[in-house]
Structure 1
Amino acid sequence: MDKELGLCLFLVLLLCHKGNTLPHTSCPYTCQCFTSVQILCADERMSSLPRNMSRQVKDLIVIKTAVAYLYPDTLEESPQLTKLVFMSNALRSIHSQAFEHLTELQELEISGNPWLEHLFLGTFSKQENLIKLLLNFNKFKTVLLGMFDSLKKLETLQMKGNLISELPSFIFLNLHNLRVLDLSINKLEYVNRETFSGLGRLEILNINNNLISNLTSDLFYNMSQLTELHLEGNKISELADDIFFDLTKLKVLNLRGNLLTTFSDKVFGFEASDLTELNLKGNRLTQLSSLSSLTSLTDLILSSNQLSELPGDVFRNITLLENLDLSENKFTLLPEMIFHDLIGIKSIHLHKNNLSKVDVKLFEDQVLIQQLYLSDNQLESLPLGVFDHFAIQHTVRLHGNPWKCDCHMWYLHDWVQRNSRDIEMLDRMLCRSPSFLKRRAVISIEKDQLVCEGSTFDMPDLSGCSLQSSGDTVIVNCKVEKCSPLTVKVQFQEDDGSVVEHILKEESQCSNETTTDIPAE
C-alpha cells in the first residue's frame, strides 16, 4: 500500500511540474522537464534542438545527442536562457552567431565533443553577462586572440583536456573579474607574462599536465590575488629566484610530477607567506633548502623523490605543520631534532625509505600525532621509549621491515601488544630473524621467545660473571653495569633425559652486585 501511495505522489508531483509550463506548451519530445525552468535532453537519436520550448525555461542541458551543428537560428527562440550545457555530443561546428540571441546567459558549457576542433572569432561577443565558461575535453588546437574580449564579468574559465599548444599574448587581457583559470591537460610548451596580462584578480590558476618546461621570472607579475597555482605534470626543471615573490596571497602550490632536482630558498622571496599547502611529489629532488619562510605551511608533500638526507633545521619555524609526507625517498637516517617543535603535527609518512635506525628522540615533540607510517624500511628494532610520548589514539604502520626478534625487541613487543588495535596490517609485521622465528608475526610471539645468544646479548654484560659451588649450592656472581629487569633461567637434565627448568625474575630493583643462589639437584 505504501509503494502505491508513493507512486501516486510521484505522478502528482510530475504532473504539477508539467503544469507549470505556459498554456498550450508541452515538454519537447525526447526531453524531460523536471521543473518549468529546467529541461534535460539526452537522446542519442536527437539531431537538432527542440523548437517548442517554453519561455519560462532558464536551464537547457543537452547530453549525448547526435546534434552536430549549431546555426544562427538554432537558439533564437530562447533568448531567456541563463544556463546552457552541451556535454558529450557530436558537435562538429558552432556558427559564430549561434549564441547571438542569448544575452542573458550566465553559464555556458561546451565539453566532451571529440570532433569539435575550433571556435570562430565572435562566438561569445554577446555574452557580456557570462560568469562561467567551460570548454573542456574537446579538440581545440588554437585559441584566437580576442575570443574572450567581451566577457568582462567572467569569473571561471576552463579549457582543460584539449590540444592547445600555444596561447596568444594578452589573450586574457580583458578578463578583469576572472577568479579561476584551468588550462590543464593540454600541450602547452611555453607561457609568458603577456599571456596572463590583465588577470590581476585571478585566484586559481591550473595549467597542470602540459609540456611546460620554462617559467620566466616575471610570469606571475600583477597576479597578487592568486590563491591556488597548479603546475603539476609539466616538465619544469628549474625555479628562478623570486618567481613567486608577488604571490603573497598564495595558499596552494602544486608542483607535483615535474623534473625539479633542487631549488633555492629564495624562490618564495618573502618572509611571511600565506602558503598552507606545498606539493612536490614525484620530482627528482636530491636536496632541499630551508623552508623556514613558509610559516603558515600546514601540508608538505615531498614523497617519491630522491632525497637521502635533510638538514636538521629544514623545518625550522614551520610550527603549524600538520601533515608531512617523506615517503618513497632514500633516507637511511634522519637528524635527531628534525621534527623539533612540530607539536601540532598530525601525520608523518616515512614509509618506503631505507631507514635502518630511528633515534629515540625523533618523535618526542609529536604528542598529538594521529598517523605515523614507518613501513617498508630496513628497521630491525626500535629504541626503548620511542613511542612513549604519544598522548592520543594514533594509527601506526610497521610492516615490511626486517624485524630482528631477539631481546632488543622487548620494548617494541610490549608496545605492540598494548596498542595492537592502533597498528594497521599487524599480521604483516613479521620477524626476519632469528631463523626459528622467521616469517612469524610479532604479535604471535611470546616475550620469552625474544632471546639473545652469547655475546650478542648486551642487556647485561656477562663477561664478569663467576661460577662457584659449595656443597649442594651453586653460586652465580655477576656485576651488573646496567640497571635492567633480568630473568635468569637454569636448566638441569635428569637421568631419564627430562629437563627441569628454574626461573628467577628480578624486575623491581637492581644493584651493582647481584648474587643468585640456586640449589643444586
Structure 2
Amino acid sequence: MERRNCIWCLVTLVWVYGTTNAFCPTSCSCDDDLLVVSCVEGNLDVIPITLNPSIQRLALKYNKVKTVDAAFTFYGELQYVDLSYNHLVSIPMRSFESQKKLVELHLNHNKISAITNKTFDGLRKLTVLSLRGNFLEDLPDKLFSSLPLLEELDLGQNRINRIDSTAFSGLIGLRVLYLDDNQLRVVPTPCFPLLASLAELHVGLNAFTVLADDAFKGLNRLSILNLSGAGLLNISDNAFRGLVALRNLVLTDNRLSKVPTKQISILSRLEELAIGQNDFSVLPVDVFKGLINLRKLDITGASSLEKVEKGALSENLNIETLILSSNKKLSYLEDGTFAKLPNLRHLILRDNAFTTFPESLVAWPELRKLDVSENPLECSCKLDWLKEALIRRNGSQVLCAQPAALKDKSLKNLTPEELGCASNGPWTTAVIAGISGAVVAFGLLIVLIYRYRRRFRDAFKDYKWNKRAMARKEQEYQKTFTDDEVPNYILPQQTLRTIPVTEL
C-alpha cells in the first residue's frame, strides 16, 4: 500500500511539471514527434512513470516487469501497448481504466494465471488482445464482456481446460480467435453461438481425439478453421455441418487413418486444404469428392502415404497449387495422375521417394512452377524431358542420386550424352537407318530415270498418240442420224411372239 501511495505521489509531481520535464530512461528510445517510446530489452522491472504523458505507442517487450501498477494510469493517450515477454503474474482490476483510446494490448508470454471480467474495464476501443503463452486454466463467465469492439483474441499456448459457455459474451464483432495449444478435451461448441461474426478459428494442439456432429454449430461465417495437431482419430459424418462459408481447412498432424472424404464433401466452398502428417497410406479415386472449388491442396509429411491412384483428383479441376512433399514412402505415380488438372500452376513434389517421373504426369502447358528437388532421382535419358522442363520453367535445383557417376550433379547441367541419349542408341540408329534407306532408294530412282530418259520419252509419246487416235474414232461413231436415216441394224427389233400349238 505504501508503495502504491508513493507511485501516486510521483505521478502527481510529473503531472504538475508537465511534459517539458518528461524524462526518457537511458534504456529507452523516446520520440516526442511521433509519440512513440520503445524500451525493448531495457532491463526494466517497473513501468517508467516519467515518460511524455502524450505518448501513443509504448513497447516494453523483453523486460522484467512484474505488475501493471498505478503508473500506467498516467498515459491516457496510449493506442498501442506491448508488455509481452515480461514477468507479469497478475493484473489488478481496472488497471487499464485510463486507457480509453487503447486499440492493441499485447500481454503474451508472461506468467499470468488468472483474469476476471474486471481486468479489462475501460478498454472500450480495444480491437486486439493477446494473452498467448501464459498460465491461464479457466475462462469464467462474461470474461470479455467489457470489450465490445474486440476483433482479435489470442488465448493460445495456455493451460485452458474449461471455458464457460458465456465466456465470450459481448464479443459480437470478434473475427479471429486462437485457442490452440491448450488442454481442451472437447471442442467448446456451447460458446460458438455467441460468436456469430467469427471468421477465423484456431483450435489445434489440443486433445480432442473426436469431432462430434455439429461441432462448430453457430459459426456460419467461419472462413478459416485450423485443427492442426488436435489429436483427431475420428471425425463424425456431420462434424462440419453448418460451415457454409468455410474456405480454408487445416487437418495436419492428426492421427487420421484415411482421408475423411464424406465428412469434408459438404464443404463445397472450400478452396484450401492441408491434410499432411496423418496416417493414411493411399489417396483413392475421388478422395476429395465434392470439393469442386478446391484451389490448393497440401499433403506434406504423410509418412505412411505410398500411393496416389489415377483419378484421385478427378473432381478437383480447379486446383492451382498441389503440394506433395516429404512423404518418404511415396515413390510412384501413374501416368496421367495429374493430367486432367487444366488449371494446375504450381506442382511441388519435393523430398519424396521418386526415382523418375513420367512425361505424361501433368498437363504441362499451364504449369509455372515445378519443384521435384530432394528426390533420389536416377538420371537417365528418360529424364531428358524433365531437364528441358526445368530449364523452361526456371524449376528447382534437382540433383541426381544415381548412377554413381552422376551423383550430386545438377540435372539441368547434364548433356544428352551424359544422360545416355547418345546418337548410337538402338532407337536412334533404327530411325537414322530408315531415313538413309529412303534417301538411297529415291536417289537410285532419279539415276534410272535419267539413264533411260529416251526410252521413257518415246514410251510417253506413243502413249499420247494412241490416246488421241482413240479419241478420233469415238467421235466418228457418235454421229447423229434422223429416224429415216437410221440403218436397219440400228433400229430396235420387235420381239417375236411365240404362238402356242393350241392356237394352230
1:142-200 Cα distance to aligned partner (Å, 9 max, x none)? 32322112212110001222222332323223211000111223333322311323111
Structure 2 residue identity aligned to 1:344? N
Compared with structure 1, are the counterparts of its residues 177 and 449 closer, same or farther at alpha carbon in structure 2 (3 Å cutoff)?
Answer: closer
In the alignment, structure 1 residue 486 sits paired with structure 2 residue 429: yes
Structure 1 residue 371 displacement after superposition: 3.2
Compared with structure 1, are the counterparts of its residues 59 and 265 closer, same or farther at alpha carbon in structure 2 (3 Å cutoff)?
Answer: same
Alignment of 1:82-121 (within 5 A): 82-113=79-110, 115-121=111-117
Cα distance in 2, alignment partners of residues 138 and 89 from structure 1:
11
Structure 1 residue 294 displacement after superposition: 1.6
1:75-121 Cα distance to aligned partner (Å, 9 max, x none)? 333333332221222222211121223333222111222x3322244
Q: Is the 8 A contact 1:239 1:263 kept in 2?
A: no
Aligned residues: 414
Cα distance in 2, alignment partners of residues 449 and 111 from structure 1:
56
Compared with structure 1, are the counterparts of its residues 152 and 313 closer, same or farther at alpha carbon in structure 2 (3 Å cutoff)?
Answer: same
Structure 2 residue identity aligned to 1:185? D
Choose the corresponding residue for 2:364, options 359, 363, 366.
366
If you compute each CA radius of gyration, which structure gives the higher value, 1 or 2? 2
Structure 1 residue 446 displacement after superposition: 6.3
Cα distance in 1, alignment partners of residues 383 and 141 from structure 2:
66
Cα distance in 2, alignment partners of residues 350 and 444 from structure 1:
21
Cα distance in 2, alignment partners of residues 210 and 202 from structure 1:
20
Structure 1 residue 376 displacement after superposition: 5.9
Q: Which residue of 2 aligns with 1:318?
A: 316
Q: Is the 8 A contact 2:210 2:236 kept in 1?
A: no
Q: Tell me the TM-score normalised to structure 1 length.
A: 0.70
Higher helix share: 2
Structure 1 residue 349 displacement after superposition: 3.0
Q: Tell me the TM-score normalised to structure 2 length.
A: 0.72
Choose the corresponding residue for 2:274, options 279, 287, 307.
279
SS in 2 for 1:232: coil
Q: Which residue of 2 aligns with 1:471?
A: none
Q: Is the 8 A contact 2:265 2:288 kept in 1?
A: no
Cα distance in 1, alignment partners of residues 171 and 421 from structure 2:
73
Q: Structure 1, unaligned stretches of length 5 or more?
A: 1-20, 378-399, 461-483, 489-504, 515-521
Structure 1 residue 295 displacement after superposition: 2.0
Q: Is the 8 A contact 2:356 2:383 kept in 1?
A: no
Alignment of 1:47-86 (within 5 A): 47-71=45-69, 73-86=70-83
Q: Which residue of 2 aligns with 1:17?
A: none
Structure 1 residue 444 displacement after superposition: 5.4
Cα distance in 1, alignment partners of residues 390 and 20 from structure 2:
72
Q: Structure 2, unaligned stretches of length 5 or more?
A: 1-16, 442-504
Cα distance in 1, alignment partners of residues 193 and 32 from structure 2:
42
Structure 2 residue identity aligned to 1:348? L
Structure 1 residue identity aligned to 2:122? K
Q: Which residue of 1 aligns with 2:3?
A: none
Q: Which residue of 2 aligns with 1:473?
A: none
Higher strand share: 1
Compared with structure 1, are the counterparts of its residues 81 and 431 closer, same or farther at alpha carbon in structure 2 (3 Å cutoff)?
Answer: closer
1:369-402 Cα distance to aligned partner (Å, 9 max, x none)? 133344566xxxxxxxxxxxxxxxxxxxxxx224
Q: Is the 8 A contact 1:485 1:507 kept in 2?
A: no
Structure 2 residue identity aligned to 1:429? C
Q: Which residue of 2 aligns with 1:340?
A: 339
Identity fraction in percent: 22
Report which stretch shifted further, 350-359 or 178-187.
350-359
Structure 1 residue 324 displacement after superposition: 1.0
Q: Which residue of 1 aligns with 2:452?
A: none
Q: Which residue of 1 aligns with 2:472?
A: none
SS in 2 for 1:485: helix
Alignment of 1:437-516 (within 5 A): 439=407, 447=417, 450=420, 484-486=427-429, 506=433, 508=435
Q: Which residue of 1 aligns with 2:478?
A: none
Structure 2 residue identity aligned to 1:80? E
Q: Which residue of 2 aligns with 1:136?
A: 132
Q: Is the 8 A contact 2:160 2:183 kept in 1?
A: yes
Compared with structure 1, are the counterparts of its residues 258 and 52 closer, same or farther at alpha carbon in structure 2 (3 Å cutoff)?
Answer: same
Structure 1 residue 353 displacement after superposition: 4.3
Choose the corresponding residue for 2:39, options 38, 41, 46.
41
Cα distance in 2, alignment partners of residues 79 and 56 from structure 1:
7
Q: Is the 8 A contact 1:65 1:89 kept in 2?
A: yes
Structure 1 residue 53 displacement after superposition: 4.0
SS in 1 for 2:365: coil
Structure 2 residue identity aligned to 1:225? R
Q: Which residue of 2 aligns with 1:261?
A: 257
Structure 1 residue identity aligned to 2:400? M
1:477-515 Cα distance to aligned partner (Å, 9 max, x none)? xxxxxxx43179xxxxxxxxxxxxxxxx5374677x99x
Q: Which residue of 2 aligns with 1:32?
A: 29
Cα distance in 2, alignment partners of residues 188 and 401 from structure 1:
44
Question: What's the C-alpha RMSD, in Å, of the aligned pairs?
Answer: 3.4
In the alignment, structure 1 residue 197 sits paired with structure 2 residue 193: yes
SS in 1 for 2:177: strand
Q: Is the 8 A contact 2:142 2:170 kept in 1?
A: no
1:239-284 Cα distance to aligned partner (Å, 9 max, x none)? 22232232222222111111111244321353731x2211111111
Q: Is the 8 A contact 2:265 2:291 kept in 1?
A: no
Q: Is the 8 A contact 1:192 1:216 kept in 2?
A: no
Compared with structure 1, are the counterparts of its residues 22 and 296 closer, same or farther at alpha carbon in structure 2 (3 Å cutoff)?
Answer: farther
Compared with structure 1, are the counterparts of its residues 237 and 54 closer, same or farther at alpha carbon in structure 2 (3 Å cutoff)?
Answer: same
Structure 1 residue identity aligned to 2:377? N
Alignment of 1:189-338 (within 5 A): 189-270=185-266, 272-273=268-269, 275-288=270-283, 290-305=287-302, 306-329=304-327, 330-338=329-337
Q: Which residue of 2 aligns with 1:145?
A: 141
Cα distance in 2, alignment partners of residues 59 and 448 from structure 1:
63
